[in-house]
Homo-oligomer: A and B are copies of this chain.
Amino acid sequence: MRECARRSSLPFLSRRIKYSMAKSSKLTQIQNLLFGRPLATSEERAEHIGPIAGIPIFGLDALSSAAYGPEAALTLLIPLGMLGVRYIVPVSGAIVILLAIVYFSYRQTIEAYPKGGGSYTVASENLGANAGLLAASALMIDYILTAAVGISAGVGALISAVPSLHPYTLQLCLGVLLVLTIVNMRGVHDTGVVFMIPTYLFAGTLLIVIGVGAWHAIGGHAVPVTPLPAMPMATAVLGPWLLLKVFSSGCTAMTGVEAVSNGVMAFRDDTRKNAKITLTIIIVLLAILLIGIALLCKAYGVGATDPNGAQYESVLSMLTRAVMGHGWFYYLTIGSVLLVLALSANTAFADFPRLTRAIAGNNYLPHVFLLRGRRLLYSWGIYVLVALTALLLILFGGVTDRLIPLYAIGAFMAFTLSQAGMVVHWRRKGKSAGRMAMNGLGAVATGVTTLVVLVAKFAEGAWITALLIAVMIVLMRSVKTHYTRVAKETALDRPIAPAEIVEPIVVLPVDQWNRITEKALSFALSMSNDIRCLHVQIADEPDKICQIWEKDVAAPLRKAGKCVPKLEVLNSPYRYVLQPVVEYVLKVEKESDLRKVCVLVPELVVRHWWENLLHNRRADLLKVILLLRGNQRIVVVNIPWYLKRD
């Protein structure tokens, strides 16, 4: 009970305190229930995962993009009418080829960086700090967008299925964000387990649709089970500019591919092998989904519908019911698509904290990102990601369509820098020209794609991404400057200098003779032989200390052979109490060239918060003022006096 009362006397800090000191409080029990018990660092190995859990954690983003990448490309092809659907096959083919190049490149990255080779690490180690910061900013922005866009896409799909939920769009988005946060705060291992079912359901049902559809198509009887909306009339022909835009829209299907290489450390045993298996499965699945969807669209004549129109239906929905009919399997498939879209934000949760940790490790972000929380996570990365995602969702009311143009640019910029970095890496190693060529091909392909995406989407909002990247780089550089300066100012490469150990001057403000004063004075006497007791005498107020000083303090100490403190009386015509004390301390400090000045501040610690209202907070104020106006040689000592229990 006593702890409780004391704790609440500083209510504004109580949450932080409880977090760090409570051991078995109710709050901790709730925390354990929600997020799991704290994990010791030695339990790290048990948290490591294999490919089966790795696919949901690092692959959700990549796999879920099969649900919107082809649709984004097909939407741009609507004006071409029936003919447009045919172009989706070559466009998807090109994207899958790009995907394959990126895949082989990243396999090599995993091989070379077994401790995690995200674009940031690879770029900064091989291309220099600036290239690293460029990759870092691009990726951080991309992850935050992934989280916001993923959640709002999933909720948007749910709302188009159940329109009565429309008024609760934002609440649903924030609810999904909350679920993701809680699940992720439990740590990598638990997250993998939770997300396994939706991920494999998604991949499984879509593969069945593709398989059945392909069987029919090969058999030559690819007839929709339920009727599809009629294709609109062609109003345009395919020009190079439109093709560019279709390709760059389809490329959103590739975001999230770099996640595995960034998180190699999360895998167990032979981390490289497990990471490579995970990456392979993700890429193969994604390639099958992309090609399968494209071929079936062509075979069944499924085109996109106007996303703003009343008759809107997603491509995957039309495709599923064309192949499988409008039965329970349709609902299972579409349900898993919704779920995976909403959860695709999880890849950001898995990678963003690892990324910020890596950047903070090089002093470009606050060191708080280096701290591992109770579940071995870099908690502050999650906090910041959640805060920024929530901010985006709230700003856009849960509908983040307008953010999509800002999106792929960051991912492709990071791909390019990573591949280019790998080229330098292999050249430095002076061997494996084949690997260098592989990564070189990846760098060129993704570099060209970056340019394509940038040009195609610049006016629509990619310029905002470019601007944000620049701002982030400036900020990160100034953080580094600060840390460098602090390190330089505090660094010490010599042993301690024993000559500098000198007795301090002790200053003790006294108001009247009571137990609190006695305690402080005893402490002062144990520290030094040069003690100045300060009494601020306010005009008109009766003297409370001078008359009893000789009798109660000076004489007994003299008799005991101890040093006798000096009593200095400061008159305060304007009734200020703290100002004379602070000025005296500064004066003493100025006059004594070497010795430290040690100010003792007695303070009363009450048992209930409301009791603070009955006592002035001069002690707190004095401490703050001395901290702000003080300097290297002024030290403050808190002498707390605790009131007894009832």
Contact = CB atoms under 8 A, between A and B. Distances in A.
Given A522-B496, A628-B9, A490 B502 contact: no
A637 B575 CA distance: 29
A104 interface: no
B496 A557 contact: yes
B496 A614 contact: no
A29 interface: no
A356 B21 CA distance: 41
Contact of A486 (B517, B573, B604, B639): B604
A382 to B, nearest CB: 16
A500 B522 contact: yes
A592 interface: no
A501 B514 contact: no
A590 interface: no
Given A482-B611, A629-B6, A642-B631, A575 B371 contact: yes
A576 B19 CA distance: 11
A366 interface: yes
Contacts of A326: none
A553 B495 contact: yes
Interface string A473-495: 00000010011011001111011
Contacts of A638: 623, 627, 635-638
A621 B42 CA distance: 26
Contacts of A372: 575
Contacts of A632: 519, 640-642
Given A367-B616, A605-B627, A501 B525 contact: yes
A24 interface: no
Interface string A21-64: 10000000000000000111110100000000000000000000
A185 to B, nearest CB: 15
Contacts of A20: 576, 578-579, 621, 625
Contacts of A598: 637
Given A496-B553, A551-B495, A575-B41, A490 B641 contact: yes
A514 B491 contact: yes
A358 to B, nearest CB: 16
A596 B556 CA distance: 22
B366 A614 contact: yes
Given A627-B605, A630-B640, A642-B631, A514 B490 contact: yes
B596 A21 contact: no
Nearest to A617: B16
Contacts of A639: 635
A489 B614 contact: no
A642 to B, nearest CB: 6
A573 B498 CA distance: 35
Contact of A3 (B489, B514, B556, B628): B628
A311 interface: no
A343 to B, nearest CB: 29
B496 A621 contact: no
A504 B523 contact: yes
Interface string A1-20: 00100110110010011001
B522 A624 contact: no
Contacts of A21: 578-579, 582, 625, 629
Interface in A573-596: 573-576, 578-579, 582, 596
A644 interface: yes
Contacts of A552: 494-496
Contacts of A401: none
A503 interface: yes
Interface string A384-427: 00000000000000000000000000000000000000000000
Nearest to A6: B628
A624 B611 CA distance: 17
A516 interface: yes
A562 B367 contact: no
Interface string A602-629: 0011000001011110000101110111
Interface string A511-523: 0011111110111
A97 interface: no
Contacts of A517: 492
Contacts of A611: 482
A539 interface: yes
A560 interface: yes
A494 B551 CA distance: 10
Contacts of A471: none
A368 interface: yes
Given A496-B552, A637-B637, A366 B613 contact: yes
Contact of A485 (B13, B560, B616, B643): B643
Given A614-B367, A629-B3, A17 B496 contact: no
Contact of A521 (B494, B496, B555): B496
A206 interface: no
A526 interface: yes
B628 A596 contact: no
Contacts of A236: none
A189 interface: no
A306 to B, nearest CB: 46
A76 interface: no
A489 B643 contact: yes
A538 interface: yes
Which of A17, A495, A623, A641 is most buried by chain B, counting CB atoms within 10 A of its CB?
A495
9 contacts: A3-B628, A21-B579, A41-B574, A482-B611, A489-B515, A489-B643, A490-B516, A498-B525, A638-B638
Given A10-B624, A374-B575, A598-B637, 9 more contacts: A17-B621, A41-B574, A371-B575, A485-B643, A496-B553, A497-B518, A498-B525, A635-B640, A638-B638
Closest 3 CB pairs between A and B? Answer: A498-B560, A41-B539, A40-B573
